[in-house]
Amino acid sequence: MAFDYDLISIQEARDTARKAKEAQQVLAGFSQKEVDNIVAAMAEAGRVNAEWLAKMAVEETKFGVFEDKVTKNNFASTNVYNYIKDMKTVGVLKEDTARKIVEVGTPVGVIMGIIPSTNPTSTVIYKSLISLKAGNAIVFSPHPSASRCTFAAAQVMNEAAVSAGAPEGIIGCLTKTTLAGTEELMHHDDIAVILATGGSAMVRAAYSAGRPAYGVGPGNVPVFIERTADISQAVSDIITSKTFDNGTICASEQAVIVDEPVKDRVIAELERQGAYFLNPDEVEMVSQAVMQPRGGMNPAMVGRSARVVADKAGIRVPEGTRVLIAPLEGYGPKYPLSYEKLTTVLGFYTAKDWHEACLLSIELLKLGGIGHSFVIHTQDEQVAREFIKKPVFRILVNTPSSQGAIGYTTGLAPSLTLGCGTWGRNSTSDNVTPLHLINIKRQAYGIRQVSQKQVQRPGTGQLSTEEIAEVVQAVLARIS
């Protein structure tokens, strides 16, 4: 029966990709205005349905926070839309009269969107908007534990698009979720680009599928509280970020590094705002509950509240505990909580100064966050600038990391796909937008003439034809 189900899934993948291709070929003939009307209708549908989609996601996945998932759905529907609505993506994008170049945007075709269980509905809304804004179709492959809510979100987006004039099938979603079906979709000839959000193995598979892909790597984001920071605000930002949807955004902080002169103040403020510091035995107990023996996080602990994690670990924490903090003496395999934890647990370190914090943050990033994000809380602009040298592409200053990296509290492009560049083995270091999903044609006019070489005649220093023939005959005679 499992084999039959795989075959059904593979056939569904083929049919969905073909239907999306047919729809996209129609959409490719639409004007910018027609495309924009469709995208506006989709954004409105995302806003109207934000709450019930969030409720469905929490009920199906059994993790995260309903209110925060509503916020993420609204972020995808409103913030992303407001950022992209005036973008030129279809037809003439730009004319450079001085260089006589005309740039024309054309769709890439059909996008495959891989959707994670951590952000199942908001990612569908976001990827649908940026794909259709660029004139493309999109087909989704859901995570097995979030297939119903992912499909529901895709239906909302497709119905809104079709009601605004898009061809039927412009947004598709697999209902038979299997690895075989996902792999078939990845390798299908009608798929032009893969937008991969999920675990490292899935992202690597997307990059090896033989077509362009945008994937994201793990975060393992360090945050440094420097001695000049506004301690109360820094702690508030960190807890706000780490508890947002119970830490399911890959940009959430993973380890706090504190400047030694302010260590006691930071600890007191963390405890005042709902953090619980684990003792050495409790660190070990939480490590066993949250992390797997062979590495990686226990999926059952993803997006869980501090209370649930503590109960699972068998420890008692005060009422109102919002995050668990694990003081660590090192990093790497002997310290499992030094790795990425998409839940309400933070590592904790002390550094003598910003130089030591810098070196430590690099080591933590090497555990799985190279290229992603880093956060610093400081009032010293010179120190903040020193951290631009970190091997990440988002250096966030005085802001919650989860919200800052996605462009909610910063001026970065609003996005739920955060590239990690070549350092993270990704094809882009950007927050992905519709501009990553178009091809650009360039019509270039000649602006300068090629000077012709002057041909010298016999008697001007060059051999004549007769003289060349005599030299050749002489050489041949010597050879013979």
Q: Is the CB of residue 428 less than 8 Å from the CB of residue 438?
A: no
| Domains within the chain, CATH numbers bracketed | 2-216+432-441 (3.40.605.10), 221-408 (3.40.309.10)
Is the pLDDT assigned to residue 394 strictly greater than 90?
A: yes
Least confident of 239-243, 288-292, 383-387, 418-422: 418-422
What is the C-alpha separation between 316 and 307, in angstroms, rounded? 9
* Averaged pLDDT for residues 458-473: 67
Confidence (pLDDT) at 31: 96
**DSSP characters for 402-468?**
HHHHTTSSSSSPP-S-B--TGGGT-S-SSBP-GGGGEEEEEEE---SPPPPPPPPPBTTTB--HHHH
Q: Mark 232-245 as b/e (b = at least 16 C-beta within 10 Å).
A: eebbebbbbbbbbb
Q: What digits encode the pLDDT tens for the residues 442-456? A: 999 999 888 876 655
Q: What is the mean pLDDT of residues 253-276?
A: 98
Quick one: DSSP state of residue 291?
B
DSSP run (H or E) holding 198: none
Whether the per-residue pLDDT at 255 is higher than 90: the answer is yes
The predicted pLDDT at position 437 comes to: 97
How far CA 426 is from CA of 9, 109, 193, 207, 341, in Å, comes to 28, 21, 14, 8, 21
Minimal CA–CA distance to 246: which of 76, 415, 402? 402
Q: Running DSSP on this structure, what letter comes out for residue 72?
A: H
The identity of residue 397, as a single letter, is V
Name the pTM for this structure: 0.90
- Mean pLDDT (the chain) is 93
Q: Tell me, what amino acid is at 309?
A: V
Query: Model confidence at 219, in pLDDT bands (50, 70, 90)?
Result: confident
Question: Which pLDDT value is given to residue 431?
Answer: 95
Least confident of 84-88, 227-231, 296-300, 435-439: 296-300
What backbone phi and psi angles, to 5 degrees, belong to 169?
Answer: 90, 5
Nearest CA among 325, 330, 329 for reference residue 279: 325
Task: Evaluate if residue 461 carries a pLDDT over 70.
Answer: no
One-letter amino acid at 351 equals A
* Position 463 pLDDT exceeds 70: no
Q: Which residue has the tokens 């705002």?
A: 273
Average pLDDT, integer, range 396-415 = 97
Task: Answer yes or no: is pLDDT of 280 > 60.
Answer: yes
On the question of pLDDT at 459 being above 60, the answer is no
pLDDT at position 212 is 87
pLDDT number for residue 455: 55
Active site residue 149: no
Cα(63)–Cα(52) distance, rounded to whole angstroms?
15
Q: Tens of pLDDT along 313-370? A: 999 999 999 999 999 999 999 999 999 999 999 999 999 999 999 999 999 999 988 9
What tens digit of pLDDT does each residue of 142-193 get? 999 999 999 999 999 999 999 999 999 999 999 998 999 999 999 999 999 9
| Percent share of the chain, pLDDT over 70 | 95
Token pair, residue 32, equals: 């910018």
Q: Which of 149, 250, 358, 420 is catalytic?
A: 250
